[in-house]
Structure 1
């Protein structure tokens, strides 16, 4: 599924969560994911509220512990317990930008305003809602930046806050009115899911959700809009899944390729790569029909332990082909004919080579001569 976001008045973690719940995500699934973190002393509810001329879903979080400061590493560890890569990636992104801004390693970052229950609940909740809706692609209209100032533990800072701007690197933004329109939590979630910015992609619209923010605006509803739809696939449309891996053995990589092909992938292959810091790695690619993409994505995550992958839509051009069979040494060998040539099927030649002891290259020449 695809989600297209319209940050009408902005985007915060609770607004995004409200919009996803309004679009059909299960509140129970969200609660179960938050509970899996080990967080205690919280209650999460969603209610329909009136905001301007619209009704929307507002997330209500009640906590027994009002502490707002925690080590970022603690929150990341708690998010990792959920099995939700998006949640872990979003919190890691916050730790990285906060560390860069304050000159400390990400592992030593101590979150102040972002260290409370709300941050973990919003991020884990949104990741769980996206999984429940089986969302694989997130698109968004340009984000309003807001303006003015905000009071923080570090004093008065400009809006957007420095952490928000760092998290929005690469995003498409636009001017906005005074006030905090995009929060660090919202920006971290958009980064974690690899959001694409621009017009809505072509899709079959299935549901629309409105997530309400806490501010009351005098002239408009305060909402984030989430539109949920299915990709519109042409006859030749295929999905390519790819992920960079530097900690997976060759045996596991070969196993994943075999499993992907057995599960219906049109093709699967591995290419060598050099990642950041000069680390040697491999890129796993899986080509599949759109209807199998979610299943194969889950397979790749489960087998490799990867925390993320890329999904791309490609158009597969398939030329016409037909088969002809030739008889060699008492066995059938299929010959594949295309518009620009002919070749024997490898599996047939390999089986014949095993049976006869003849070199495969010699058998290939015999197959061509037998046409």
Structure 2
């Protein structure tokens, strides 16, 4: 599925989440994903509100813990438990941006305004909603920058906030009126999802959602608009990108694979190879939907430093599958069911194994027995 965003008055994490829920994402799927992070003392609701001349969906997060400061590393670790690469990538991008601005390594960044319950819920919730809608590609219209100043723990800062500007590198932007139109959370989610900026792509429009912001504007509704559609490209036709790499570390290779998956790749993997003069190497492969091939090609070349790659079109056969959920030792375990069998999600089993101390293979068997 393709998601096209129209940030009519701006984009914040709660506005994006509201728009995705209004477009059909399951709030129960969002709640389950947030619960998997281990976060406690929160409630997530959604209500229809009038903003200007429109009715839109506004998310409401109630928390028992009003702390707004946490280490970025702690938030990333919590998000990893939900098994949502977009959420991890968004938080990592925030940590990198804040670290660069304040001269602190990303691993040591302590988030102030962005360290609370609501930021983690917005980020994990949006990642879960994108997954529930089956979104593999995100497009976005130019973003309004806003203007003026904002009060933070670091004092008064210009709008857009420095972290927001760092996260929007490469985005298309336009002028805007006074106020914070795009938040760091919104900008980080766009970066993590590999958003492509410009006009709406050619697609079959299936659903539309309106997410309401909290500001009351005198002359217009304060909304982000989400449009979900199906690509008109030939079904099953995708592009394989491949490049030989003998000068990148295993850590870089793993990073590129994770980034490609977060940016909409259908799959990504590496195979060992021996190149000329007996040099050990890897061949990186990225399976890309036709509409994401150019973006993923740029990502692979930029991240690896490779001077070229190969492209060939393939026909992908994908059997239908869906997720079911079982409860085991107080934890939710997702079960992927296809025409010929069912399998528990490995990431969920890892979380459960760490929580219970039980062997992974035994938990896998118990999850199957619980169906």
Residue 233 of structure 2 is matched in structure 1 by 233
Paired residue secondary structure (2:169): coil
Point out the structure with max Rg over C-alpha. 1
Q: Does 1:159 align with 2:189?
A: no
Cα distance in 2 for residues equivalent to 1:59 and 1:287: 33
Cα distance in 2 for residues equivalent to 1:288 and 1:185: 27
**Paired residues of 1:5 and 1:224 also in contact (CA < 8 A):** yes
**Paired residues of 1:246 and 1:281 also in contact (CA < 8 A):** no
Mapping of residues 101-112 of structure 1, within 5 Å = 101-112=101-112
**Paired residues of 1:236 and 1:316 also in contact (CA < 8 A):** no
Deviations, residues 118-169 of structure 1 (Å, cap 9, x unaligned): 1100000000000000100000000000000001100000000000000000
**Paired residues of 2:71 and 2:108 also in contact (CA < 8 A):** yes
Residue 299 of structure 1 is matched in structure 2 by none
Cα distance in 1 for residues equivalent to 2:241 and 2:62: 39
Deviation at 1:272, TM superposition (A): 7.5
Deviations, residues 173-193 of structure 1 (Å, cap 9, x unaligned): 000000000000000000001
Cα distance in 2 for residues equivalent to 1:242 and 1:226: 33
Over 3 Å counting, the alpha-carbon distance change for 1:42 and 1:174 in structure 2 is same
Q: Does 1:286 align with 2:287?
A: yes
Deviations, residues 41-89 of structure 1 (Å, cap 9, x unaligned): 0000001111111011000000000011000000000000000000000
**Paired residues of 1:168 and 1:191 also in contact (CA < 8 A):** yes
Mapping of residues 40-59 of structure 1, within 5 Å = 40-59=40-59
Over 3 Å counting, the alpha-carbon distance change for 1:131 and 1:237 in structure 2 is same
**Paired residues of 1:236 and 1:315 also in contact (CA < 8 A):** no
Mapping of residues 1-371 of structure 1, within 5 Å = 1-234=1-234, 237-240=237-240, 247=250, 281-286=282-287, 316=313
**Paired residues of 2:3 and 2:137 also in contact (CA < 8 A):** yes
Over 3 Å counting, the alpha-carbon distance change for 1:247 and 1:23 in structure 2 is same
Over 3 Å counting, the alpha-carbon distance change for 1:96 and 1:281 in structure 2 is farther
Residue 307 of structure 1 is matched in structure 2 by none
Cα distance in 1 for residues equivalent to 2:85 and 2:124: 10
**Paired residues of 2:237 and 2:314 also in contact (CA < 8 A):** no
Paired residue secondary structure (1:180): coil
Deviations, residues 70-123 of structure 1 (Å, cap 9, x unaligned): 000000000000000000000000000100000011111000000100110000
Over 3 Å counting, the alpha-carbon distance change for 1:271 and 1:2 in structure 2 is farther
Paired residue secondary structure (1:147): coil
Cα distance in 2 for residues equivalent to 1:198 and 1:106: 31
Question: What's the TM-score, normalizing by structure 1?
Answer: 0.68
**Paired residues of 1:5 and 1:141 also in contact (CA < 8 A):** yes
Cα distance in 1 for residues equivalent to 2:68 and 2:25: 28
Cα distance in 1 for residues equivalent to 2:235 and 2:78: 43
Cα distance in 1 for residues equivalent to 2:290 and 2:94: 35
Deviations, residues 283-340 of structure 1 (Å, cap 9, x unaligned): 11337799xx9xxxxxxxxxxxxxxxxxxxx99599xxxxxxxxxxxxxxxxxxxxxx
The ranges of structure 1 where at least 4 consecutive aligned residues each deviate by more than 6 angstroms after the TM superposition are 241-245, 287-290
Residue 346 of structure 2 is matched in structure 1 by none
**Paired residues of 1:241 and 1:287 also in contact (CA < 8 A):** yes
**Paired residues of 1:271 and 1:283 also in contact (CA < 8 A):** no
Deviation at 1:233, TM superposition (A): 1.4
Over 3 Å counting, the alpha-carbon distance change for 1:46 and 1:285 in structure 2 is same
Paired residue secondary structure (1:104): coil
Cα distance in 2 for residues equivalent to 1:56 and 1:281: 49
Cα distance in 2 for residues equivalent to 1:138 and 1:242: 23
Paired residue secondary structure (2:164): helix
Cα distance in 2 for residues equivalent to 1:172 and 1:98: 21
**Paired residues of 1:270 and 1:285 also in contact (CA < 8 A):** no
Give the superposed CA RMSD.
3.0
Count of paired positions: 274
Q: Where in structure 2 are there 5+ consecutive unaligned residues?
A: 254-265, 275-279, 294-310, 316-371
